[in-house]
Amino acid sequence: MDEALLSLFAARGAEAVTVPILQPADPYLDAAGEALRRRIFLTRGEGGEALCLRPDFTIPVCLSHIGLGGVLPRRYCYLGLVFRQLRTDGSEFRQAGIEDLGDTNFATADARAVADALAGLEAAGHSGALDIVLGDQGLFEAFLAALGLPDGWQRRLVRTFGDDTLLAAALGDLSRHDGEAVAGLDPRLHALAKAGETGGLAAAVETLMDEAGLSPHAGRTPAEIAQRLVEKVAVAETALSDMALQRLRRFLLIDCPLNEAAALLSEMTSASGLDIGRALAVFEARNAALVAVGVDLGAIRYRAAFGRTIDYYTGMVFEARIPGARDPLVGGGRFDRLLTFLGATVPIPAVGFALWLDRIAAATAGGGRP
């Protein structure tokens, strides 16, 4: 399996890279999302710095690229162990995959990632039936913006993308107009926050901090607290109209073959008077690129509410699993903001995927059963 995968990756133009098992923990704690954070094995370095056992390869490969100042575009491949706790099937897992950095043709790079992931499954020995699902966080964000939601609500909903329970709770809050989340806020602060008076609000917060004997250097500054309060009040007191909420729910219910999705999205948004034209053009360009590399769109389902529970994803996400299985054999997506967050001096577009080799081996040995 290993040799077949590495040969495939080399043939696809990916350079093999190795990264240390022990990694700085902060990038994971800040960028990976709660689902992965709670599974990290944490430790301390000799200098007291927070370290962790490598829970994935994406962040270390990106850090390695930044540290070496690599030329772009570039494709890296890897094969090795990752470590995650709180799983019933153990704590060490073998992964292989490709990270594709710097290709400014998003549609081509996305299509290549999906095609290479499916080819990787075949090279690893899996030839059985697959359920393949694709989502698009960028399209979801464009739909939220078209509805005219405040930035705070857009950020909250994006954070829930891919978690059906959290998304349902957020939609429930959005359907109410009760301001429950800020019911205990000082009326003077509430009024300033509601009016968006961040200057006066920051001054009032600073006064309260002084009266309480709190250092201005302890935690957030008064200005930061004021901005958070403005956002919190806007979020708590915003409710969508019934029609807008109905449109959002209808969008999130879309679940269809990928080759039917663009027409359905276009019809829905046109009928609602919503403009997601740019995001939809990206979606259609990616579909055309997938067809060009031989991927059958009819074999992939597009789910508008599908996301992956890792915070650094920004656009297309996808997974493939054995029908009826809980866990995917392969998953990946686009993460265009991650490298800048990790220290790159300019934005670097990026997309990649990871194969779960132990799951693939078990599925192959079991005749393709979950």
Q: pLDDT digit string (tens) for 292-335?
A: 999 999 999 999 999 987 888 999 999 999 999 989 999 999 99
Among residues of the chain, what percentage have pLDDT more than 70?
91
In a domain, 96, yes or no: yes
In a domain, 282, yes or no: no
In a domain, 264, yes or no: no
Report pLDDT digits (tens) over 29-75. 888 777 777 888 888 888 888 899 999 999 999 999 999 887 899 99
DSSP state of 69: T
In a domain, 185, yes or no: yes
Q: What are 197-205's contacts with CB under 8 Å, separation 24+?
A: 198/223, 198/226, 198/227, 198/230, 199/226, 201/226, 201/229, 201/230, 202/226, 205/229
CB-based burial, 223-232: b 16+ in 10 Å, e otherwise: eebbbebbbb
In a domain, 94, yes or no: yes
Residue 86's pLDDT band (cuts 50, 70, 90): low
The H or E element that residue 108 is part of is: helix 106-123
Q: Domain check: are 100 and 194 in the same one?
A: no
Residue 368 clears pLDDT 60, i.e. is over it: no
Cα–Cα nearest to 127, from 115, 138, 119:
119
Domain boundary among 236, 269, 301: 236
Q: Domain check: are 7 and 121 in the same one?
A: yes
Q: Domain check: are 9 and 78 in the same one?
A: yes
Report pLDDT digits (tens) over 243-297. 888 889 899 999 999 999 999 999 999 888 899 989 999 999 999 999 999 999 9
Q: How many CB atoms lie within 10 A of CB 206?
A: 17
Query: Do 239 and 174 contact (CB within 8 A), yes or no?
Result: yes
Query: Do 144 and 152 contact (CB within 8 A), yes or no?
Result: no
Q: How many domains does the chain have?
A: 2
Give the β-pairing of 74-83 and 15-16: parallel
Domain boundary among 236, 253, 278: 236
In a domain, 158, yes or no: no
Q: Which pLDDT does position 370 carry in this prediction?
A: 46
In a domain, 230, yes or no: yes
Strand-by-strand arrangement of the 300-303 sheet:
15-16, 74-83, 92-101, 350-356, 330-334, 316-321, 131-136, 300-303, 255-257
In a domain, 260, yes or no: no
Give the global pTM.
0.81
Q: Domain check: are 196 and 111 in the same one?
A: no
Q: Domain check: are 82 and 17 in the same one?
A: yes
Domain hosting residue 349, numbered range = 2-129+323-365
Maximal CA-CA distance, the chain:
69
Q: Domain check: are 20 and 112 in the same one?
A: yes
CATH number where 100 lies: 3.30.930.10
Query: Do 153 and 141 contact (CB within 8 A), yes or no?
Result: no
Domain boundary among 236, 271, 305: 236
Residue 114 clears pLDDT 90, i.e. is over it: yes
Query: What would you report as the CA-atom Rg of the chain, rounded to the nearest whole angstrom?
Result: 23
Give the β-pairing of 300-303 and 131-136: parallel
